[in-house]
């Protein structure tokens, strides 16, 4: 009611006049308003539901398995007898693949964004932007197929011709393709951020005699740094939570290794494989997937929160 009066005095008057005798329209509008609020609440309910379901099953799991041996154990073998639930090898595998992905995606994404916003002619932009959007729209199951059947054999053959021992499901293959997956994310976010840097900063730098690249490196990028860092954080959160590429191209056996040529497993791979197939909800094996989900949930949430905060701080500088 309060905002009605604020926006429109006429509306305020009419509702005051009819308050004693609500018409069918008033009832209808009240119902519609409740429905709208309910739709908005679905998002909250989903978050609560996700949180509750993941935490509830995890608590059951932690009744059987000591949380400390879960978080700091170095051996992951949920199907062996007795099972062991050491989370560290999975964390190492996830971080390794994410790191490879970032090493690929950060320079490619950032340089593409710089080129498109600072150098490219409108014609190049009109071609490149849809191409990047197309890459962003490729389903991850397709990228996983490509990683497993094309990139992995390519790396393996190259490695063998160099005399290296490469696993057929190497972390490198999964990481490379995942990197290509997040290039469009980094480039489109960075593009927005670079475009948001005021033109006056560039003009000032050019007036001092700086070349375009000097301006970009010494003026534009420092000004956009916070935004770029947050874009990279969002990319990390995307890479950590990505499932299909690693399910299809990375391994199942959780080696505690940082060698990119070896097979490693990730958190998401384990969640997916533990829950596909048999579904007894009392076994620690099944429940461990929810504990992994809990860790993943908080990890991505934290990254996302920090990223959003960084962007908000940065935006205040120029508005």
Partner 1 sequence: MTDTAYRQRLAKRYAAESRFKAYGAIALLLTSAFLLYLLVDIARKGWPAFFEHRATIAVTLDAAQIDAANPGAADFSGIVKESWRSKFPDFSSRGDKKKLNLLLSQAASDDLRQQVIANPALIGKTVKTEVLLSDEADLYLKGQSQEIDKAVLEKVLATVPVERHVSWRLLTNGDSREPELAGLRGAIMGSLLTVLVALVLGLPIGIGAAVYLEQFAPKNRWTDLLEVNINNLAAVPSIIFGLFGLAMFLNLFGMPRSAPVVGGLVLALLVLPTIIIASRAALKAVPPSIKEAALGVGASDQQAVFHHVLPLALPGVLTGAILGLARAFGETAPLLMIGMVAFIADVPKGFTDAATVLPVQIYLWSDLPELTFQSKTAAAIMVLIAILFSLNAVAIYLRKKFERRW
Segment 235 to 264, residues that bind partner 1, using CB under 8 A: 237-238, 240-244, 247-248
By CB under 8 A, the residues from 204 to 233 that bind partner 1 are 211-214, 216-217
The residue among 174 and 296 lying less far from partner 1, judged by its C-beta, is: 296
Looking at the DSSP bridge assignments, the partners of residue 76 are 85
The residue (of 164 and 276) whose beta carbon lies closer to partner 1 is 276
With CB under 8 A, what is the number of residues at the site for partner 1?
A: 99
- The yes or no reply on residue 115 touching partner 1 (CB under 8 A) is yes
Of residues 16, 22, 67, 131, which one binds partner 1 by CB under 8 A?
A: 131
Number of H helices, E strands in the chain: 15, 2
Q: How far is the CB of 79 from partner 1 (least distance, A)?
A: 18
* Mode of pairing for the β-strands spanning 76-77 and 84-85: antiparallel
Instruction: Give the torsion sign (CA, 248, 254, 255, 258).
Output: positive
Q: How far is the CB of 91 from partner 1 (least distance, A)?
A: 15
**Which CB sits closer to partner 1, 21 or 25?**
25
17 binds partner 1 (CB under 8 A): no
Q: What are the two backbone dihedrals, phi and then psi, of residue 114, each rounded to the nearest 5 degrees?
A: -60, -45
- The reply on whether position 97 binds partner 1 by CB under 8 A is no
For every residue of 31-90, DSSP letters joined together read: HHHHHHHHHHHHHHHHHHHHHHHHHHHHHHHHHHS-HHHHHH-S-EETTSSS-EE--HHH
- Using CB under 8 A as the binding rule, whether residue 111 contacts partner 1 is answered as yes
Least separation, in Å, of the C-beta of 152 and partner 1?
Answer: 12
Classified as helix, coil or strand, 291 is helix
Instruction: Please say which residue, 28 or 74, places its beta carbon nearer to partner 1.
Output: 28
Tell which one of 21, 24, 25, 319 touches partner 1 (CB under 8 A). 25
Sign of the Cα torsion 108, 187, 219, 212 reads positive
Which C-beta is closer to partner 1: that of 127 or that of 164? 127
Kindly report the CA angle at 50 between 46 and 54, in degrees rounded to 5?
170
The CA distance from 171 to 98, in Å, is 10
Contact set for partner 1, span 137-176 (CB under 8 A)? 137-146, 148-150
Three-point CA angle 159, 162, 163, nearest 5°: 90
Instruction: Scan residues 276-315 and list those touching partner 1 (CB under 8 A).
Output: 276, 279, 281, 289-290, 293, 296-297, 300-301, 303-305, 308
Please report whether residue 133 would count as binding partner 1 according to CB under 8 A. yes
SS3 category, 283: coil
> Site for partner 1 (CB under 8 A): which residue of 65, 94, 100, 112?
112
The H or E element containing residue 151 is none
What residues have CB less than 8 Å from 133, skipping those under 6 apart?
A: 184, 188
Contact 109, 187 (CB under 8 A): yes
Asked if residue 39 binds partner 1 (CB under 8 A), the reply is: yes
Question: Smaller CB distance to partner 1: residue 149 or 225?
Answer: 149
Q: Binding pattern to partner 1, positions 44-83, x when CB under 8 A?
A: x-xx-xx--xx-xx--------------------------
Distance between CA 171 and CA 250 in Å, rounded? 6
Closer Cβ to partner 1, 197 or 240, answer by number? 240
> In this complex, which beta carbon is closest to partner 1, that of residue 75 or of residue 306?
306
């Amino acid at each position: 009611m309060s905002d009605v009066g604020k926006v429109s005095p006429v509306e305020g008057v009419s509702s005051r006049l009819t308050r004693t005798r609500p018409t069918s329209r008033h009832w209808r509008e009240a119902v519609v308003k409740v429905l709208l609020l309910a739709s908005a609440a679905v998002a909250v309910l989903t978050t609560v539901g996700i949180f509750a379901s993941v935490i509830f099953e995890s608590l059951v799991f932690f009744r059987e398995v000591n949380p400390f041996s879960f978080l700091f154990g170095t051996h992951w073998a949920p199907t062996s007898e007795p099972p062991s639930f050491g989370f560290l090898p999975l964390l190492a595998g996830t971080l390794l693949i994410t790191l490879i992905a970032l090493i690929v995606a950060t320079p490619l994404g950032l340089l593409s964004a710089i080129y498109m916003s600072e150098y490219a002619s409108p014609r190049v932009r009109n071609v490149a932007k849809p191409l990047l959007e197309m890459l962003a729209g490729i389903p991850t199951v397709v990228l996983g197929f490509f990683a497993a059947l094309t990139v992995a054999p390519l790396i393996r053959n190259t490695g063998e011709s160099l005399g290296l021992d490469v696993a057929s499901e190497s972390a490198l293959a999964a990481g490379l393709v995942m990197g290509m997956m997040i290039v469009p994310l980094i480039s489109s976010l960075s593009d927005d951020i670079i475009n948001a840097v005021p033109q006056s900063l560039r003009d000032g730098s050019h007036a001092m005699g700086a070349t375009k690249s000097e301006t970009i490196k010494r003026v534009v990028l420092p000004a956009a740094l916070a935004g770029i860092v947050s874009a990279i954080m969002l990319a990390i959160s995307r890479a950590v939570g990505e499932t299909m590429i690693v399910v299809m191209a990375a391994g199942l056996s959780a080696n505690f290794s940082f060698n990119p040529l070896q097979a490693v497993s990730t958190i998401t791979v384990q969640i997916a494989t533990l829950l596909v197939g048999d579904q007894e909800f009392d076994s620690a094996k099944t429940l461990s997937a929810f504990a992994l989900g809990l860790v993943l949930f908080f990890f991505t949430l934290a990254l996302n929160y920090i990223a959003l905060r960084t962007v908000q701080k940065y935006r205040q500088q120029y508005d």
